[in-house]
Every structure is written in C-alpha cells, then in structure tokens.
C-alpha cells in the first residue's frame, strides 16, 4: 500500500487540491431531503438527513475533488446516531475513492490518545476480533498536550499507513491568543511547526512529502507563506478558503513548485451554495465545486 | 438551579474532592462481566461490557465520591455503540446524583465549537424538537485555538448552567513541550491560566468559585501550587493522582483554605484495583475508593 502522503499526492494530481468539508446542519439541508423525513423521530430524522445529504455531496463533487473532510462535531451534535452516520459516510467516501480526513481535532495523553487513534485508524480489537471504527485516511490532532500526546497518533498512523494533520496556525480571527505568543524569538505556532517538520521527516514517501501534515489557515496569508517555507516537506491542510474569507490567491502560496503540498478545504462554500427551498440545489453544488476546483488549480 | 460551581461545591462538601474517572478497557474488565457476553458480536460485547462495568462502578463508589469523569476516548474507541453507552452512563450517573464531567478535550472554531458545546450541554434541536446528547454537567476543553474557540463553550455552558474545564497544565511527562515555552517572562500555561481566571470571574457563584475551571496535573506539584495561587476562584480538575504518580500530599496544595477548589481524579487506581479473574473485584473497588477518599480529605 502506498504511504498516506503518496495517496494524497495521487488524489491531488488527478483532481487538484480542493478538499470538500462535510459540515451538515439540519436547518441548511435541502427541503427535498428534510421533508420526506418529517415523520421520523428527531434523532433519526437528523441522522438520516445528514447521511443522505453527505452521500449526495460525495457523488456530486467527485469529478472535482479527491479529498473529503467530514467534521466530527456536527455528527456528534446529533448524538450516537450521528456518529453512526459519520462512520457510514466515511465508508461510502472510501468506496468512492476519496482520501478521507476526519476533522475531529483530538488530543489526549498516553493510552487515551491511543484509544482515539485506534478509533480513527486501525479499529478496535475485542478478544482477538477486530472491527473498524472511523477508518479514516487521516485525522486532525491538537498539539497543546505535547510530544507524548501526539506520538500515539503518529505511531498508530504509521502502523496503518495513515496520516495526521497537526493544528499549527488555525483560521479563526482569535487564533493568535496563544499561537502567536513569542518565545525565544519565535511565535508558539513556529515551535509547533518545527516539531511537525521533525515528526514528518522520517515518513517521506515517493512524492517527497510525509505523513505528518499541518493545519494552517488561509485567513493569514503571510503566516501561510512563512509556514510553507518552514515545513517544505509537510502536507498542509488549509481551512478558511471561501466562506471564511480566504481567496484562491491567498492559498496558492501553500503550493510547492510541483503543485503538491496543500489541500484547500471548502465546506459551506461548496456544499451549501443554495437556499433550502431551491429545487436546483444539486446543480448549485456541482457549479460551486467546479468553480472552486478551477480557481484552486496550481 | 444553582450554578455549576455551587453544585460542585455541594458535592465536594458532602463527599470530598475525589472524582472517579471512568476509562473502561475491555481486557481489564472483570471476567464476571466479560464471560456472559461471549456470544455477542464484538462491537456489542464491548459496548454492553463498558456499560455494565461503568454502572457497577457508579454504584460502588457512590458513598465516597460525588463527581465522575467518563473519558470519551475509550467509548469512541469501540465506535457508535460505545458512544451510545457513554450517553446512557452519563444519564445513569446524573440519576444517581453525581456531578458529571465529560472528559473529551474538545476544541474547534466558531459554529463548530458550538456544535460540540450543544452536544455536551443543551442538546440538539431539529425542527423545534429538542433531545439531549451527552447532557454532562461539565466538559473539558482544549484552549490552543484561542479565545473565539473557547467562548462558544463558555456561552453554551452559561445558558445551560453547566461548566467547562480548560486544559492549562496537563499531567503527562511531555506536557511542557509547548505549555512551558516562556513568552513575556511567563510560560504559555500561565498565559492560559490568566485567560481562564478572566473568563471565570463573572461566573462566580455563592461558593465563591466560578463555572470556568482549569485542568492542572498532580504530577507537577510546584506548578499546581503556583496555579492555585494564580487562579484563586477557579475550580481545578486535577488528574494524575494515583496510577500516574501524584500523591495525596502533592494534590492538597490545590485546595483552598475552605476545603473547596479542587476535584482530584483517579481512574485506574480506583476502578481497576483487581485482576480480571478476581471474584472480589467489587470489594476491591470499594476499598480503593474508600482509601482514596480518606487520603484526599482536605
């Protein structure tokens, strides 16, 4: 099996750097999906709606994107039924050939981190019987707890040929509160970036990039360019393009000269470019995905 | 309804500062629970085992502890069925009168953070119908993403009379990698502590403490004493006592003179003081909880 980095490189070579974020919200779903569910219990209505919508999005964006990123929070918001739909949707995405990034921003220490990592990658083993849980190609990870909290994710990813994306510089307006504190002449996020570059170095695949990626927001183009240079062999997952305000020009600084090196996420911009009443919602998703893919071409 | 801080104060006044962590692991469960499940599918075997064990732990530790902290990672590890058992166990704990802390270390930006916070506290609303998800009294939150990522948790907690515990200085050996970087003469964790103290100030209840707590490890007693002084009105959730190496003497620096101010977590030490074959596992849990409660008495 090729490394995670090489599978991601292949997806980007084939379809470009667009990563489609799947962030379902009940009130935003097309009426065409919500109305037939009106007699279901609310917990099931939401879960079925999220799956139906997510599956449709996968089909519609497939010509324009090789990577999808479901956001765990929105599935967790509707409870255990939602988590089941997250699992089904990740499987569906994999079967359709997508590289899947589970955006869960997990982080904990020692065997607790291993539990999250096993859920994400290898699955669970009970009395010698194994079953998959999320079975994602990559997981987003929060670094605040330090090296021994990140390492279980890296170890589990390595064993299962998967990847991680460590939060370095996030896309929100208040990201700098702790990330920009300057220590020994460098902001905290640069210290995190230096660790990521070290963790990544021994994992480089044929494409020249490794399996330990970094999350760097599109909303801070200066930091994005600086971090591209500081971590030349690290895959960047770039949120904040589109609805959050980052432009295609802003994010292109994240590409390496070979056109690889970054995947650029759009969630609302691609998946909710319609009003819930709109009968043309599918065509609008296709158009939004096509436009984003064209804009983002290296 | 009393504030979260006041409910926690009442629990600590009645039963002392011991918080029992529920971190189930299949291989550690008593054979008496595992064996009757041997014909179930592995996913269901683990889920039922975790619930049966967790429920038993709640009953057994109830005389010695008023606060329980299920660790989301171990339930996630066994998939959506596990998340359902986490939900049932949190409900069971609440019905038995425990204050519940969901240890999920969530963190994300804007409406994504709100989705996690709604799952934790208010529940989910679909077409005007609401249903609870985790319905926990408090949630652990990771601060790396900054103020606008923490605020949705604080807002949701305030609306529902719940609490948060923000990671400040964690108990793992490598916690210092980023948390101890020195910026403007203070380590990063002190910058986080200063923000927590500010967020907490307007939430103080009758007990004098507020609803925005801090996670500070018992394994670093010097930092624990320093942080107690730096955040005098902040509830501290102190992990690392027992199996991780922190002693009762180490953690007592976290108490205020009135005996309030800290809950001290023990997971393995209280819930797994037996070999899986041991027929006396229940008595051993009772003895371990009793010993921990006595040791930790302010």
Whether residue A245 is predicted with pLDDT greater than 90 in this model: the reply is: no
Contact A79, A111 (CB under 8 A): no
Listed in sequence order, the residues at least 6 apart from B293 whose beta carbon sits closer than 8 Å to its beta carbon are B15, B16, B18, B64, B65
3-state SS class at B25: coil
- Do the Cβ atoms of B116 and A26 come within 8 Å? no
> ∠ at Cα A180 (A174, A186), nearest 5°?
170
Q: Which of A39, A71, A84, A105 to mutate to test the interface with B (most CBs of B within 10 A)?
A: A105
Contact B16, B65 (CB under 8 A): yes
Instruction: Read off the pLDDT of residues A256-293 as tens digits, 9 standing for 90 and up.
Output: 999 999 999 999 999 999 999 999 999 999 999 999 99
| Chain B CA closest to residue A169 | B145
Instruction: Find the helix or strand (DSSP H, E) in which A289 lies.
Output: helix A281-296
pLDDT bracket for residue A220 (50, 70, 90): confident
The Cα–Cα gap between A281 and A241 comes to: 21
Contact B200, B210 (CB under 8 A): yes
Six-digit token string for A17: 């750097």
Arithmetic mean of pLDDT, A100-129 = 97
Sign of CA dihedral B198, B204, B208, B214: negative
pLDDT bracket for residue A243 (50, 70, 90): confident
Catalytic residues of B: 105
Instruction: Read off the pLDDT of residues B103-145 as tens digits, 9 standing for 90 and up.
Output: 999 999 999 999 999 999 999 999 999 999 999 999 999 999 9
In eight-state DSSP terms, residue B137 is S
In eight-state DSSP terms, residue A107 is -
- Do the Cβ atoms of A145 and B172 come within 8 Å? yes
Nearest to A182 among B26, B109, B183 (CB): B183
The Cα–Cα gap between A201 and B278 comes to: 47
What are the domain boundaries of chain A? 4-296
**What's residue A1's pLDDT?**
85
Contact B140, B105 (CB under 8 A): yes
| Chain A CA closest to residue B239 | A109
Nearest to A115 among B77, B105, B131 (CB): B77
Catalytic residues of A: 105
Instruction: Find the helix or strand (DSSP H, E) in which B18 lies.
Output: strand B18-22
CB pairs under 8 A between A and B: 218
**What's residue B23's pLDDT?**
98
Q: Which of B73, B118, B165 to mutate to test the interface with A (most CBs of A within 10 A)?
A: B73
Six-digit token string for A210: 């490794």
Confirm whether the ipTM is greater than 0.85: yes
CA distance B76 to chain A (A): 6
- Do the Cβ atoms of A119 and B144 come within 8 Å? no
In eight-state DSSP terms, residue B235 is P
Mean pLDDT of each 10-residue bin along chain B, 298 residues long:
96 98 98 97 97 98 98 98 98 98 97 98 96 98 96 98 97 94 97 98 98 95 96 97 89 96 97 98 98 97
**What's residue B242's pLDDT?**
87
Arithmetic mean of pLDDT, A28-50 = 97
HEC assignment per residue over A36-101: HHCCCCHHHHHHHHHHHHHHHHHHHHCCCCCEEEEEHHHHHCCCHHHHHHHHHHHHHHHHCCCEEE
Nearest to B144 among A71, A142, A191 (CB): A142
The Cα–Cα gap between B33 and B51 comes to: 10
Arithmetic mean of pLDDT, A31-48 = 97
Report which of A221, A214, A216 is spatially closest to residue A169, judged by C-alpha positions: A216
**What's residue A242's pLDDT?**
87
Q: Which of A80, A111, A147, A187 to mutate to test the interface with B (most CBs of B within 10 A)?
A: A80
CB-CB neighbors (< 8 A) of B237 in chain A: none
Six-digit token string for A156: 């589990």
Report which of B288, B215, B174 is spatially closest to residue B69, judged by C-alpha positions: B215
Contact A50, A75 (CB under 8 A): yes
Angle between helices A221-230 and A188-200 in degrees, nearest 10:
40
**What's residue B245's pLDDT?**
87
pLDDT bracket for residue A6 (50, 70, 90): very high
3-state helix, strand, coil in chain A (%, to 5): 50, 20, 35
> ∠ at Cα B109 (B103, B112), nearest 5°?
75
Listed in sequence order, the residues at least 6 apart from A185 whose beta carbon sits closer than 8 Å to its beta carbon are none
Nearest to B42 among A23, A115, A127 (CB): A127
- Do the Cβ atoms of B172 and A43 come within 8 Å? no
Arithmetic mean of pLDDT, A198-207 = 98
- Do the Cβ atoms of A124 and B170 come within 8 Å? no
CATH of A4-296, one of 3.40.50.300, 3.30.1360.20, 3.40.50.10860, 3.20.20.70: 3.20.20.70
């Amino acid at each position: 099996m090729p490394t995670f980095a090489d599978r991601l490189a292949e997806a980007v070579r084939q379809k470009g750097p667009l990563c489609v974020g799947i962030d379902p919200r009940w009130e935003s779903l097309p009426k065409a999906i919500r109305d037939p569910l009106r007699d279901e219990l609310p917990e099931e209505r939401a879960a079925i709606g999220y799956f139906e919508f997510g599956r449709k999005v996968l089909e519609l964006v497939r010509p324009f994107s090789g990577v999808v990123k479901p956001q765990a929070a929105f599935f967790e918001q509707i409870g255990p039924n939602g988590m089941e739909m997250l699992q089904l949707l990740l499987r569906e995405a994999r079967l359709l050939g997508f590289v899947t990034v589970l955006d869960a921003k997990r982080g904990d220490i020692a065997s607790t981190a291993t539990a999250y990592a096993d859920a994400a990658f290898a699955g669970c083993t009970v009395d010698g019987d194994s079953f998959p849980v999320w079975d994602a190609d990559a997981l987003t990870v929060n670094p605040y707890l330090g090296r021994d909290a990140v390492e279980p994710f890296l170890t589990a990813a390595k064993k299962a040929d998967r990847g991680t994306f460590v939060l370095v510089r996030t896309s929100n307006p208040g990201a700098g509160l702790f990330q920009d504190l300057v220590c020994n002449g460098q902001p905290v996020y640069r210290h995190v970036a230096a660790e990521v570059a070290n963790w990544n170095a021994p994992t480089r695949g044929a494409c020249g990039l490794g399996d330990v990626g970094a999350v760097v927001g599109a909303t801070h183009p200066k930091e994005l360019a600086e971090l591209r240079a500081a971590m030349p062999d690290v895959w960047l997952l770039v949120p904040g393009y589109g609805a959050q305000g980052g432009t295609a020009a802003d994010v292109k600084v994240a590409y390496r000269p070979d056109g690889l090196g970054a995947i650029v996420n759009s969630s609302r911009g691609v998946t909710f470019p319609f009003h819930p009443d709109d009968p043309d919602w599918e065509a609008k998703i296709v158009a939004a995905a096509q436009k984003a893919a064209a804009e983002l071409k290296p």
